[in-house]
């Protein structure tokens, strides 16, 4: 094991981590349910669903069976000129679940690529409409939409983790981050700022992209559903496409099947990923309505100009069918509600700790915002000692556990977060970005 650690430390780059002075890593031997077992025998309760994807936990028999069955037929064929049952079945399942009006599906490799495709769809749509000046994207401050270049251009340009690339990114337009709390009144200042931007810039805007209700890696911020309703109204009024990035929020995480359902709106373009394949294989999708599809198809270049090699990979689509089917059975509603209730009670003690700024909970998401940034290495070392896996970022301790977590397991997670947030000396000496 030590030789593997040494090789990893010397040669393998981990996300948002220095290669010359990397964060410690913990070798995993196996995982099952909500527990990750390390090579040294220690067992950790997963509080992050492997970056919000493994909603059914690990080593799930239904997902394993789907993967094995597909592999016995074929693992991949190019999607150019071919199709296959798993891709078609997944498409049928998705269209039965997403907000009404979304009818076309483009399978992508990852969440970032799904956003790239969405932005490309918007730009090609307006070219097809004979409006080549509509090339800018409106996004939100505190937004995060991915790590590829077009996706980075619609992330927060100042406080986001990609600010060092600003000189190379397309210059987009940004609205103030919504201040209206999810559980409070909808503030006029949010409405006024958005109306002003649309009125002043609609002639150059191709689309408005946002993460509905939850701004994820930009700060785990929950905002009022009326903001979504206003966004839909203004996009219709000023002829701007609405893109909903539900890569983190889709498939029940916020307490509704899709976060757009909190406002009863349907976007023109929708991005999904993460929970789509249950955390087994990288897969995402970009969906659009007939208006967008027809607009692109009737343009000078009638094809959407994107085509990943592993588009609609059969293994990924097969396991995604199993994942989405498990969600569609309806157990997620009771699971997420139970998690929400327990997160509220379990994290409540944190509100009295001097180092805590705020505690907030929505669906299967619990956030403890600290007054100061956290030292990731020190916090994770302490978490492992407590038997949990919680990965902080910035000044946030958060929980997004698998939906299958049991009350006693969730209690261990919330107790650990309470212990961590009660200790005010986790200040971070070197601030590194990343979720």
Q: What's the whole-number average pLDDT of the chain? A: 95
CA distance 191 to 125: 27
- Measured CA to CA in angstroms, residue 180 lies from 189, 267, 343, 360 at distances of 9, 21, 22, 14
CA distance 121 to 401: 33
Length of the chain: 435
pLDDT higher than 80, residue 202: yes
For 325-382, write each residue's pLDDT tens digit: 999 988 999 999 999 999 999 999 999 999 999 999 999 999 999 999 999 999 999 9
Q: Please report where in the chains the tokens 């569609």 appear, as a residue.
A: 328
Question: Residue 223 forms beta bridges with which residues?
Answer: 181
- Measured CA to CA in angstroms, residue 304 lies from 43, 83, 105, 299 at distances of 46, 17, 12, 10
- Measured CA to CA in angstroms, residue 153 lies from 125, 196, 199 at distances of 19, 22, 22
For 112-146, write each residue's pLDDT tens digit: 999 999 999 999 999 999 999 999 999 999 999 99
Strands 136-140 and 173-175: parallel
For 277-298, write each residue's pLDDT tens digit: 999 999 999 999 999 999 999 9
Q: Report how far Cα 69 is from the mean position of its chain's Cα atoms.
A: 28
Nearest to 293 by CA among 317, 268, 329, 326: 268
For 395-432, write each residue's pLDDT tens digit: 999 999 999 999 999 999 999 999 999 975 555 444 44
Three-state DSSP state, 69: helix
pLDDT, position 431: 41
Count CA within 13 A, CB hemisphere, residue 293: 12
CA distance 317 to 311: 10
For 230-281, write each residue's pLDDT tens digit: 999 999 999 999 999 999 999 999 999 999 999 999 999 999 999 999 999 9
Confidence of residue 78 (pLDDT cuts 50, 70, 90): very high
Q: Which residues are catalytic?
A: 16, 144, 245, 274
Nearest to 198 by CA among 121, 136, 125, 109: 136
Contact assessment for residue 257 and residue 97, using Cβ atoms and an 8 Å cutoff? yes
pLDDT, position 433: 45
Q: Which helix (H) or strand (E) holds 149?
A: helix 149-153
CA distance 63 to 69: 10
pLDDT, position 1: 56
Question: Residue 286 forms beta bridges with which residues?
Answer: 106, 271
Q: How many CB atoms lie within 10 A of CB 330?
A: 11
CA distance 205 to 238: 9
pLDDT higher than 70, residue 97: yes
pLDDT, position 425: 59
Q: Going along 329-428, which residue ranges are E strands?
A: 356-362, 365-370, 388-389, 396-399
């Amino acid at each position: 094991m030590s030789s593997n650690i040494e090789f990893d430390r010397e040669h393998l780059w981990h996300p948002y981590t220095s290669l010359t002075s990397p964060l410690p890593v913990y070798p995993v031997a196996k995982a099952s349910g909500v527990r990750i077992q390390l090579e040294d025998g220690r067992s950790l309760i997963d509080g992050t669903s492997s970056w919000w994807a493994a909603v059914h936990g690990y080593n799930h028999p239904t997902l394993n069976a789907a993967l094995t069955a597909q592999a016995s037929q074929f693992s991949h064929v190019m999607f150019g000129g071919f199709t296959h049952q798993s891709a078609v079945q997944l498409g049928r399942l998705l269209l039965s679940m997403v907000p009404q009006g979304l009818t076309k599906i483009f399978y992508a490799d990852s969440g970032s690529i799904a956003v790239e495709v969405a932005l490309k769809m918007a730009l090609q749509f307006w070219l097809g409409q004979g409006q080549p000046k509509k090339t800018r994207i409106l996004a939100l401050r505190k937004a995060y939409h991915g790590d590829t270049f077009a996706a980075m251009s619609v992330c927060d340009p100042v406080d986001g983790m990609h600010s060092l690339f600003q000189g190379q990114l397309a210059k987009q337009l940004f609205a103030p981050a919504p201040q209206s709390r999810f559980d409070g009144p909808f503030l006029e200042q949010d409405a006024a700022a958005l109306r002003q931007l649309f009125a002043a810039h609609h002639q150059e805007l191709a689309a408005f992209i946002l993460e509905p209700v939850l701004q994820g890696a930009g700060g785990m911020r929950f905002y009022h559903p009326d903001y979504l309703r206003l966004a839909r109204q203004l996009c219709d009024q000023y002829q701007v496409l609405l893109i909903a990035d539900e890569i983190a929020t889709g498939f029940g995480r916020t307490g509704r099947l899709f976060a757009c359902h909190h406002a009863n709106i349907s976007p023109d373009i929708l991005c999904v990923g993460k929970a789509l394949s249950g955390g087994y294989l990288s897969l995402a999708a970009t969906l659009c309505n007939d208006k967008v599809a027809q607009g692109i198809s009737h343009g000078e270049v009638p094809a959407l100009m994107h085509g990943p090699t592993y588009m609609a990979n059969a293994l990924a689509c097969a396991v995604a069918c199993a994942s989405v089917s498990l969600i569609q059975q309806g157990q997620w509603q009771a699971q997420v509600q139970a998690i929400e209730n327990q997160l509220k009670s379990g994290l409540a003690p944190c509100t009295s700790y001097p180092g805590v700024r705020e505690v907030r909970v929505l669906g299967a998401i619990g956030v403890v915002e600290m007054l100061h940034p956290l030292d990731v290495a020190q916090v994770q070392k302490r978490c492992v000692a407590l038997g949990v896996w919680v990965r902080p970022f910035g000044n946030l301790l958060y929980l997004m556990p698998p939906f299958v977590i049991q009350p006693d397991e969730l209690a261990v997670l919330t107790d650990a977060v309470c212990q961590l947030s009660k200790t005010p000396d986790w200040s971070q000496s070197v601030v590194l970005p990343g979720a």
